[in-house]
Structure 1
Amino acid sequence: MSRRDSRMMLYLGGVASVAWCMVYMAQVHTTMLAPAPLAGAMHLAAAPSDADRVEALLKSMTLAQKVGQMTQIDIGDILYGKSREPALAINRAKVAVYAKLGIGSYFNSPFDANSSPHGRVGWSASEWRVVLNTIAAIYKEHSAVPFIYGIDTTHGANYVRNATLFPQPLALASTFNVDLAYAMGRIEAKDSLAAGIPWIFSPVLGIAMQPKWSRVYETMGEDPHVVSTLGVAVIRGIQSSNASAACMKHFIGYSNPTSGNDRADSIITDFDLVNYYAPPFLAAVRDGNVLSAMETYTSVNGDPVVQSTKLLQGLLRNDMAFDGLLVSDDDEIHRLVAEHHVAATELEALQMVMDHTSLDMNMVSKKHRATSLLLKLVNASTIPEARLDSSVRRILTLKQRLGLLDAPPSTHENLVATVGSDEDRALAATAADESVVLLLNKPVEPVDAVNPKMVLPIQNPNAKIFVTGPLADNKAYLCGGWTVYWQGTDDSDAIPYGRTIKEAVAARFPNVVYAEGVPVLDTDVDANAGPPGSVHAMSAPQAANHSAALALAAAADYTIVVVGEAPYAEKSGDLDDLTLPSGQLEYIAALSRVTTTNVIVVVITGRPRLLGHSLRHVHGVLVSFLPCAGGGDAIAKVIAGDVNPSGRLPLTYPATTGHALPYFHRANVACTEGFKECPVQWPFGAGLSYTTFKYDNLTLSAWRVDKVTGRLRVDVSVTNVGTRAGKEVVLLFLSQKVRRFAVPEAKLLKRFTKIELAPSASTTVSFELSFDDWSFALPQIGHGLNRTAEDGLFHLMIKHDTTCGGAKKNPLCAHFHLV
């Protein structure tokens, strides 16, 4: 959802709608992966007395009040400005007008730009409460139905000052830790409730199929099962208090823009929609009891989702049986005119949405004509009042469940003191620790032929360490967008706690020096410098910094160079090429050329940015997908060996922009002559440890399984044969040898779990598979997501790098037959 300041206001008119997305997939089971127990999941069925109360209130409302309930307005429309005193910022007269109109919801943060006046960095929970309580009091004066406030909360209550900041969702997915996903949902909802905000626009349940996309870091990776499992955990965490509502988004297909640019059209077959994109949303509905959903900006196969009967009615409401509140993304009804070009006027666009879908709430930046246009259509009898009643009933039901219709409404003032607590930040720090992925670890140079030691962890406490790179000394760069401001910030001090990577490394090693070396972007380019025809030339100040940094590297035992991306959100993050900026890559290459030091590259990024040929000359690579406030210490702890890395890639890390495919691509996809597998830099699930885990004794309970009623138990032994404790992510994939309905996937993840073993310890990991795991959904949207399975051979693989069917037998590959 776009959170724009006055300079980036895209549209001055619009109609907003309520659209969220849920998709069902029977193959998603989380019982093996969920914390025991994930208590407090909210049930959708309201008590009869609650339903009666909602019906009585609905019958008492005028048409205008019903239309108002279906409208959600940006808080910026009722503020004079970002005043030092929150209460003085409220335009009380305008709020009174909106109260009389019955406006049902507000959203957003007034501090969504990337700067704030008066040195203020957002509102604290107490300041938020002043604002929202003032609005509530005005509503009460006019006997209006209480409003519900919604906000984007991607990795903690990122718009509440001093709240605990978790890693971004992609980094959270790298942990493969369901308990941490639940904790993030619980804490971000708690801190938001402390601010008076009960509606959480989270989680993002799109699967990251286009690595160039600027919202990859908001997803939980490319795998449908991982996104389903972690998404359900986040939802259960958010809704655990029965006072907050999660909002799954963005329904559906947004995460695969054809061009890679944000909001571009998605071209997706129905088979892929129901088998890959829908499962996380379906799991959210069936296993997470999610209370609301948001539709997406984009069109799928040329069909704008906000007005799509097929997707919002057929898939979401019918196939998934979602009966919660559906809200549009920002100004999306207006975009039917301005961007999608399927309607000539906003009146026509609104008519389309009301006729074709069951969208409940229209999210708009400002009221403008949103309410008057809808009221005009109802008064003209082109939209029946019963259509309004269906949506308003869902809106009131959500408010009732959250205690917002009580007198007085629930305020949760007791939670203010818990915002940013030590306990909460410790959990976020653990998530950051487990998000770090070690992808390359070569022997220390010069190599000891008898007893080689890996470059990581750095075991010499007195080693001379040079820390450098554009992201080494800035906490804000560890967090990315949706942090304090919509676009994030480059102000390290805006992040209320934590340390930079440089500071955290220096806290653990006494002999640390630092120089930036190169800027994050190739901005210091002097067109008149360098030889004729040169592509990249540094200005004098940058060249001096660069030369001084190389001299420091030459004198060091280890060089830690931290590269990556500056913060961004949505369209501002569009890319043509996944390769890191040339200045950063040239700097890594220069460090490798001028010194024999051991070069360790740390990549802080919101998507898989490519290192190219610079990888040839470095000794270690760590990747973390925006670990945020705890990230500096998390990286330093892994470098020092205080934490054994346990992060694993939740998506494929491509070798080139052109060959960017998910690991579960079709089995007939080939990129080179001879039909060889497409080359990748690192595969899904990759990640190294400082210890070694041995897998053996893979056994299946049967070799022939009834395809409908059968169940298959899988056991595998895992032993820590190294010298230190470690955590391991155990992955189970299936691959269908022949599928007649559609080309099968190369393989597809069906189960995962994370275990921790002491040195020499061993455990047996057990999984159970059934019909949902070897069947597939028929591409019949609107007809119930029926599933079927075919007779035949299946390969079962343990670990991300296991292959089956070759000349050499693999002990981690087994097979069974469906009959």
Structure 2
Amino acid sequence: MTACSSNANLPVEPRDAAIVWPKLQLAVKPQSDIEKSIAQMVSTMTIEQKIAQMIQPEIRDITVEDMRTYGFGSYLNGGGSFPNGDKHATPADWIALAESMYQASIDDSIDGSTIPTMWGTDAVHGHNNVIGATLFPHNIGLGAANNPALIEQIATVTAREVMVTGIDWVFAPTVAVVRDDRWGRTYEGYSEDPQIVSDYAAAIVKGLQGAADKDFLGDERVISTVKHFLGDGGTVGGKDQGDNVATEQALFDIHAQGYVSGLSVGAQSVMASFNSWHGKKSHGHQYLLTDVLKNQMGFDGFVVGDWNGHGQIEGCSVDNCSDAAIAGLDVYMAPTPVWKPLFNNLVAQAKSGALPMARIDDAVTRVLRVKMRAGLLEKPSPAQRPLSGKTELIGSKAHRDVARQAVRESLVMLKNNGNLLPLSPKQVVLVAGDGADNIGKQSGGWTITWQGTNNTNDDFPGGTSIYEGIKAQVSKAGGKTILNPEGRFAIRPDVAIVVFGEDPYAEGHGDVDDLEYQPGNKRDLALLKKLKAQGVPVVAVFISGRPMWVNAELNASDAFVAAWLPGSEGAGVAEVLFSEDKANPKFDISGKLSYSWPSHPDQTAVNRFDDDYKPLFSYGFGLSYADEVELGMLPEVIQPHLDESESVAIFKRAVQPPWRMFIGSDDQRLAVNGAMQQSSTVYVRTIDKERQEDAWRVAFNGSGRGYIDFSSHLASDFKASLASDSVLSFAIKIDQAGSSDNATDSINEPLIEKTYIAMKCDTDCGEPLDIAPTLNALPAQQWQAVNIDLKCFRYSGVDLGKVTTPFSLASASPLILNIADIEIRPLHKDETVTIECQ
């Protein structure tokens, strides 16, 4: 195996795909009776019915009546999207929506079609959108366990919990082979080594779908999706949705192995990737989607797009892109209201011949083939299926036991000087760090909400934080636990366990420039050093979605355990850390690195089999309790603190820590914990500006003063930003003013009335700025940048040294706008100040 490398002189699209790509021996083969039935169905379908099978809208943007009218072949819920927009929707709510959509899809009173729809969901580490579900470690931790049999068991449990809610199809497994750990989706990959990915892809597909010769797509199984095709883990610089410039041989050897194994055992759908290969987007790559995947490798299921990914093809838009279907895309993932113009455009292109009917028929055939193999045309409706409504299965003890085993096997011990671990539970144990009692943090992204943010322990009924697991172990043995995130104590502890690490993120929101942990703000290191200076032995439990450069944190710890993102069963961590019999621990620590650990912050692409391979900890490293290895002091690079005059992001694609988003009125304040939220005066929901859910739509209804805030309980000092002539900058698009009817998309008279921007402190400070004149001067329906001189806030009375809310937008009048890219930053040379104060 060789490292992925660029060779632009080699042909990217050879005339014969067989040069590199194999003919697969697929376990699931065509059946003549099914093929005849499909051909008969397709021959009787109208163009509109066919195109409807190729469109997949999202539950926030369609109604049951839309389903009745169009008869979509499928629909999805995105991360952080729930029935009725309710984060705490019950399993019964999920089933009710599934049943309603199913019944509408088979109602032929409008569209003339009785073909059942199917629901797809992101169940990537358990049924992770549903409150109370069993949440397994993310893939990076499972890779460290290197146990394919366990992976199949995890997938089987996931399928059962999904089937309880009436859902047919999951967007898993992710089979990316990650080559640069700066990528924000690193934790979604099992390993940098294609061998583990290959073994796991087969195991998880069998767990989700059942064995091809046994219980294939039976009553306790769901349709699986291997994703993202192809090369998403190998982009230049680890950029999400970036360009993979591997040779074609390396593309196969490294990035395609999960597809070889996953498709061979019967995976029925493949998701196209956002990334490009040598500059050409995968959603429009006919060579990869059709010549390689379908014709050469023999895949006869369907290819589904990713979130509006077709709109990234050159010459396409999200609502007009026949090129994707021509290239080989069978199902357009079309969230947001673009599904309707996309449908109309595809119908028109089909009728004009611009989109060949043969390609449409092939796409529809593939969709129907999978539906028939899954029995969807014969199965009872979602509410009547065998597992539907058996809510005792969701988060059951048996399922959580599987997850707890996965947690135990995923832990990797990097340091254990003096054989401090395992610990006796009969001690006084201080548990510190902001991850100690935080199930949301330990679960990471793709956890209830898309980014995994804005969750509390109450959102995980039945789950356990790492602290709760420690407390149970220690209390049972007669010891004592002290929980203090800041590491303070009144009774001197015998040992401190500090749980810390990365805050949750998903996709591009997690992209980083290098692998240094907490650059410029080493608060967790300070905590470790404080305890060390007090003579307290320190066990570090590091939560992260990737290996990181933590030399200083390693030096400040006596033992160091990489816990990755363990999910809802934090008790599994404690079961390994503690043992009543030190000589014979109940559970050994057995995880081995499936990613190489960097020796310096810029060593972001260090992979097994590299020619110049010099990581800090090699692939496969992991101490056991039997090992007696002393880790010496590691080199530390003292990083200067960030200049406080540099950019401070408040909302950049996602709300940035430490800020949280709130909406409300004079007598109501609500935290925004999902993709949509509504108060008595204002409604917000995520929308797409440039990428998935990177902006907010804000609708003030005019019934009273409404606001949106980005706030923190911690005060921030922006005096240095003031000294550098910085601005409060944001992008805005005005949709509608002067009317509470949010169904229209035009500016109505009267124009925008008083609308205020404010900064706030711990106590009342400063007056808000009326920005209505500025907004009225902006062109409607266009994104515009607004830059407000920070001096305006100082002149209004704001103490810029004590800001708890750097951005608050309020209006008492009807107004609908979209907002994105909120930050405090120096003004760029080519920019002007929109609002300045002298």
- Length-normalised TM-score, structure 1: 0.67
Matches within 5 A, 1:2-151: 43-78=27-62, 91-99=63-71, 103-109=72-78, 111-112=80-81, 121-142=87-108, 143-151=113-121
CA distance in 1, matches of 2:447, 2:553: 31
Aligned residue number for residue 741 of structure 2: none
Aligned residue number for residue 443 of structure 2: 479
CA distance in 2, matches of 1:303, 1:472: 44
CA distance in 2, matches of 1:179, 1:262: 31
CA distance in 2, matches of 1:317, 1:290: 13
Aligned residue number for residue 163 of structure 2: 193
Aligned residue number for residue 438 of structure 1: 413
Deviations 1:359-414 (A, max 9, x none): 11011013131111111111111222111111100000111111111264564243
What secondary structure, in the 3-state scheme, does the structure 2 residue paired with 1:493 have?
helix
With over 3 angstroms needed to count, the CA separation of the structure-2 counterparts of 1:25 and 1:656, relative to structure 1, is: farther
Aligned residue number for residue 297 of structure 2: 320
Q: 2:227 aligns with which of 249, 254, 271?
A: 249
What secondary structure, in the 3-state scheme, does the structure 1 residue paired with 2:497 have?
strand
CA distance in 2, matches of 1:107, 1:379: 27
Work out whether residues 26 and 279 of structure 1, in 8 Å CA contact, stay in contact via their aligned partners in 2.
no
Aligned residue number for residue 691 of structure 1: 626
What secondary structure, in the 3-state scheme, does the structure 1 residue paired with 2:405 have?
helix
Confirm whether residue 502 of structure 1 aligns to residue 467 of structure 2: yes
| 1:692 shift after superposition | 5.7
Aligned residue number for residue 160 of structure 1: 130
CA distance in 2, matches of 1:407, 1:563: 47
CA distance in 1, matches of 2:404, 2:189: 20
CA distance in 2, matches of 1:26, 1:688: 39
Structure 2: state its 5+ residue gaps.
1-17, 580-584, 629-838
Aligned residue number for residue 434 of structure 2: 470
Deviations 1:8-51 (A, max 9, x none): xxxxxxxxxxxxxx99987999xxxxxxxxxxxx9422432222
Amino acid at match of 1:511: K
With over 3 angstroms needed to count, the CA separation of the structure-2 counterparts of 1:28 and 1:642, relative to structure 1, is: farther
CA distance in 1, matches of 2:371, 2:333: 17
With over 3 angstroms needed to count, the CA separation of the structure-2 counterparts of 1:116 and 1:264, relative to structure 1, is: farther
CA distance in 1, matches of 2:84, 2:95: 19
Work out whether residues 220 and 226 of structure 1, in 8 Å CA contact, stay in contact via their aligned partners in 2.
yes
Matches within 5 A, 1:625-644: 625-640=564-579, 641-644=585-588
Matches within 5 A, 1:616-695: 616-640=555-579, 641-667=585-611, 669=612, 677-678=613-614, 680-691=615-626
Deviations 1:598-631 (A, max 9, x none): 1111101111122122322321011112111112
What secondary structure, in the 3-state scheme, does the structure 1 residue paired with 2:156 have?
helix
Aligned residue number for residue 14 of structure 2: none
Matches within 5 A, 1:781-792: none
Ranked by relative contact order (alpha carbons within 8 Å, sequence separation 6 or more), the top structure is 1
Aligned residue number for residue 207 of structure 1: 177
Deviations 1:496-538 (A, max 9, x none): 2222222221222222212112xxxxxxxxxxxxxxxxxxxxx
Aligned residue number for residue 305 of structure 1: 282
CA RMSD of aligned residues (A): 2.7
Deviations 1:630-688 (A, max 9, x none): 12332453244442111111111112232233433442x3xxxxxxx42x221111111
What secondary structure, in the 3-state scheme, does the structure 1 residue paired with 2:274 have?
coil
CA distance in 2, matches of 1:344, 1:412: 40
CA distance in 1, matches of 2:280, 2:621: 37
Work out whether residues 475 and 632 of structure 1, in 8 Å CA contact, stay in contact via their aligned partners in 2.
no
Aligned residue number for residue 240 of structure 2: 262
Amino acid at match of 1:483: T
Q: 2:514 aligns with which of 557, 566, 577?
A: 577
Aligned residue number for residue 496 of structure 2: 559
CA distance in 2, matches of 1:492, 1:23: 53
| 1:346 shift after superposition | 5.9
| 1:166 shift after superposition | 1.4
| 1:162 shift after superposition | 2.3
Work out whether residues 559 and 600 of structure 1, in 8 Å CA contact, stay in contact via their aligned partners in 2.
yes
Deviations 1:722-760 (A, max 9, x none): xxxxxxxxxxxxxxxxxxxxxxxxxxxxxxxxxxxxxxx
| 1:431 shift after superposition | 0.9
Work out whether residues 525 and 552 of structure 2, in 8 Å CA contact, stay in contact via their aligned partners in 1.
no
Q: 2:505 aligns with which of 568, 590, 593?
A: 568
Deviations 1:770-812 (A, max 9, x none): xxxxxxxxxxxxxxxxxxxxxxxxxxxxxxxxxxxxxxxxxxx
Confirm whether residue 228 of structure 1 aligns to residue 198 of structure 2: yes
CA distance in 2, matches of 1:351, 1:311: 17
Amino acid at match of 1:682: F
Structure 1: state its 5+ residue gaps.
1-21, 30-41, 79-90, 337-341, 444-453, 518-548, 670-676, 694-819
Aligned residue number for residue 351 of structure 1: 322
Confirm whether residue 384 of structure 1 aligns to residue 384 of structure 2: no
Aligned residue number for residue 173 of structure 1: 143
Confirm whether residue 605 of structure 1 aligns to residue 544 of structure 2: yes
Q: 1:397 aligns with which of 369, 386, 403?
A: 369
With over 3 angstroms needed to count, the CA separation of the structure-2 counterparts of 1:28 and 1:608, relative to structure 1, is: farther
What secondary structure, in the 3-state scheme, does the structure 2 residue paired with 1:185 have?
helix
With over 3 angstroms needed to count, the CA separation of the structure-2 counterparts of 1:25 and 1:652, relative to structure 1, is: farther
Amino acid at match of 2:473: R
Matches within 5 A, 1:337-376: 342-343=314-315, 350-355=321-326, 357-365=327-335, 366=337, 367-376=339-348
Deviations 1:327-365 (A, max 9, x none): 0111011122xxxxx216568x6232233x221101101
CA distance in 2, matches of 1:685, 1:412: 44
What secondary structure, in the 3-state scheme, does the structure 1 residue paired with 2:233 have?
coil
Work out whether residues 281 and 312 of structure 2, in 8 Å CA contact, stay in contact via their aligned partners in 1.
no
Aligned residue number for residue 334 of structure 1: 311
CA distance in 2, matches of 1:586, 1:304: 42
Aligned residue number for residue 414 of structure 1: 387
What secondary structure, in the 3-state scheme, does the structure 1 residue paired with 2:548 have?
coil
With over 3 angstroms needed to count, the CA separation of the structure-2 counterparts of 1:274 and 1:52, relative to structure 1, is: same
With over 3 angstroms needed to count, the CA separation of the structure-2 counterparts of 1:71 and 1:580, relative to structure 1, is: same
Matches within 5 A, 1:541-556: 549=487, 555-556=492-493
- Length-normalised TM-score, structure 2: 0.66
Amino acid at match of 1:664: R
Matches within 5 A, 1:722-737: none
What secondary structure, in the 3-state scheme, does the structure 1 residue paired with 2:141 have?
helix
Q: Give the percent of matched residue pairs that are identical in Structure 1 and Structure 2.
A: 27
CA distance in 1, matches of 2:24, 2:414: 29
What secondary structure, in the 3-state scheme, does the structure 2 residue paired with 1:368 have?
helix
Work out whether residues 585 and 611 of structure 1, in 8 Å CA contact, stay in contact via their aligned partners in 2.
no
Aligned residue number for residue 278 of structure 1: 256
